[in-house]
C-alpha cells in the first residue's frame, strides 16, 4: 500500500470522530494562525488539507472566495455538511496538495495550511503552492514541532499505549504501524527553522519567517478523559485499543491516567501547550 493510500485510509477511518474529539483541539490553533494571516475582504483564500473545514468556517464573512482542498473525501463530506445553508463563495475540492492539480496558476491571494501539509513532500507542496499563489500572494502554515517525549502528554499516551498493544497485527492496523514507524519526508526534510527557510526560498518564496514556539495552550476542561478521547480518536490508536483484551485496555487506561496527572491543575483540567512550527512567506514577484 502506497504512503498516500495509508494517509487516505487514516483520515477515512478517523473522520467519524474528528469533529467531536479532534476539532475542538485544532480550532484554537486555526484561529490563531488566521489572525496572523490578516485576511483582507476580497482575498481569495486557499485552505490546504482543509479536513472538516475548520479554517474555512472560521473565515466565512472575512474573505472573498474560499477554496478548501483535501485528499480524503469523508473529511470533505463533513466539511460540506457543516457549511451554513446558503453559504456562497466557498468550494471544496478533492485534490492532492503535492500538485494542486485542478487549480490554475496565480489563482489565490493567500494560502493557509493548519496541520494540512505534514503528510506531503515539502519541496513538491511548496512548489505547488508557489504556482497557485499570485505574485505577492502569502502563505501561512503550521505543523507540530518535535515531540518532547517526557514533557508532552500526547507522547506519554502513545508510549503508554505501545506498552499494551498486541504483539502481532495484520491488515490496516499493521499498515498503520509500518507507516508510523517510518519518519515522514516532512519531518526528515524540515528539522529546524533553517530547513524551512531553505525549502521555501527554493520554491520561490521571499520574506520567509519561521517560528518554533508554543502559541496556544489548550485547556481540556474534562481533564484526562477528554485528552485521552482526543489522542485515541485517531484511527491507528482506535484500532490498537479495539484489538486489546478488556483487561489490557483497562490497565492501559489506568496507567495513562496516572502518567497524565502531572499535567492537570487542582480542578482536574488538563493543560497542553505543544510545540508548533509556523512558516510564512510571500510569493516572489
Ligand X SMILES: C[S@@+](CC[C@H](N)C(=O)[O-])C[C@H]1O[C@@H](n2cnc3c(N)ncnc32)[C@H](O)[C@@H]1O
Stretch that binds ligand X, among 37-45, 92-100, 243-251, 273-281 (CB under 6 A): 92-100
* Least Cβ distance, residue 24 to ligand X (angstroms): 10
Among 114, 158, 160, 280, binds ligand X (CB under 6 A): 114
Cell numbers for 186, please give them.
516532512
Q: Is 116 in the site for ligand X (CB under 6 A)?
A: yes
Q: Is 98 in the site for ligand X (CB under 6 A)?
A: yes
Rounded Cα distance, 283 and 137, in Å: 5
Q: Is 72 in the site for ligand X (CB under 6 A)?
A: yes
Stretch that binds ligand X, among 36-44, 114-122, 168-176, 184-192 (CB under 6 A): 114-122
Q: Which is nearer to ligand X, 63 or 75 (CB)?
A: 75
Q: Is 70 in the site for ligand X (CB under 6 A)?
A: yes
β strands within 27-120, DSSP E: 45-48, 66-70, 90-94, 108-114
Among 96, 159, 198, 212, binds ligand X (CB under 6 A): 96
Rounded Cα distance, 21 and 25, in Å: 8
Which of these, 37, 196, 58, lies nearest to 109 by C-alpha position?
Answer: 37
Q: Is 46 in the site for ligand X (CB under 6 A)?
A: no
End-to-end CA distance of the chain: 40
Among 9, 50, 78, 179, binds ligand X (CB under 6 A): 50
Report how far Cα 75 is from the mean position of its chain's Cα atoms: 12
Among 26, 45, 63, 203, binds ligand X (CB under 6 A): 26
Q: Which is nearer to ligand X, 93 or 255 (CB)?
A: 93
Among 3, 6, 7, 169, binds ligand X (CB under 6 A): 7
Give, in order, the Cα–Cα distances in Å from 242 to each of 2, 164, 193, 232, 248.
25, 12, 39, 11, 10
Q: Is 220 in the site for ligand X (CB under 6 A)?
A: no
The count of chain residues that interact with ligand X, using the rule CB under 6 A, is 22
Q: What is the largest CA-CA distance in the chain?
A: 61
Q: Is 143 in the site for ligand X (CB under 6 A)?
A: no
Which of these, 174, 153, 141, 143, lies nearest to 218 by C-alpha position?
Answer: 153
Q: What is the DSSP string of 140-192?
A: EEEEE----TTT-HHHHHHHHHHHHS-S---HHHHHHHHHHHSPPHHHHH-SS
* Least Cβ distance, residue 119 to ligand X (angstroms): 4
* Least Cβ distance, residue 103 to ligand X (angstroms): 12
Among 71, 141, 158, 280, binds ligand X (CB under 6 A): 71
Q: Give the footprint of ligand X on this chain (CB under 6 A).
A: 7, 11, 26, 30, 49-51, 54-55, 69-72, 75, 96-98, 114-116, 119-120
Amino acid at each position: 500500500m502506497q504512503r498516500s493510500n495509508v494517509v487516505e485510509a487514516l483520515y477515512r477511518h478517523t473522520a467519524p470522530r474528528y469533529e467531536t474529539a479532534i476539532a475542538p483541539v485544532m480550532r484554537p490553533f486555526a484561529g490563531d494562525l488566521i489572525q496572523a494571516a490578516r485576511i483582507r475582504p476580497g482575498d481569495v483564500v486557499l485552505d490546504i488539507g482543509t479536513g472538516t473545514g475548520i479554517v474555512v468556517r472560521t473565515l466565512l464573512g472575512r474573505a472573498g472566495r474560499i477554496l478548501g482542498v483535501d485528499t480524503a473525501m469523508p473529511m470533505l463530506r463533513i466539511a460540506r455538511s457543516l457549511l451554513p445553508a446558503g453559504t456562497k463563495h466557498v468550494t471544496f475540492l478533492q485534490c492532492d496538495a503535492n500538485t494542486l492539480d485542478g487549480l490554475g496558476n496565480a489563482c489565490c491571494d493567500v494560502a493557509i495550511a493548519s496541520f494540512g501539509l505534514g503528510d506531503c513532500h515539502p519541496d513538491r507542496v511548496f512548489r505547488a503552492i508557489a504556482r497557485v499563489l499570485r505574485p505577492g500572494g502569502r502563505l501561512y502554515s503550521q505543523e507540530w514541532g518535535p515531540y518532547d517525549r517526557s514533557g508532552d502528554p500526547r507522547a506519554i499516551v502513545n508510549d503508554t499505549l505501545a506498552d499494551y498493544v498486541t504483539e502481532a497485527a495484520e491488515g490496516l492496523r499493521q499498515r498503520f504501524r509500518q507507516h508510523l514507524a517510518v519518519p515522514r519526508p516532512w519531518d526528515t526534510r524540515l528539522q529546524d527553522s533553517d530547513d524551512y527557510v531553505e525549502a521555501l526560498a527554493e520554491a520561490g518564496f521571499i520574506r520567509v519567517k519561521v517560528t518554533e514556539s508554543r502559541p496556544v495552550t489548550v485547556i481540556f476542561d474534562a481533564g484526562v478523559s477528554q485528552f485521552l478521547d482526543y489522542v485515541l480518536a485517531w484511527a491507528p490508536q482506535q484500532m490498537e485499543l479495539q484489538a486489546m483484551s478488556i483487561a489490557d485496555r483497562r490497565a492501559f487506561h489506568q496507567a495513562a491516567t496516572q502518567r497524565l496527572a502531572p499535567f492537570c491543575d487542582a480542578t482536574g483540567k488538563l493543560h497542553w501547550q505543544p510545540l508548533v512550527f509556523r512558516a510564512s512567506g510571500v510569493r516572489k514577484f
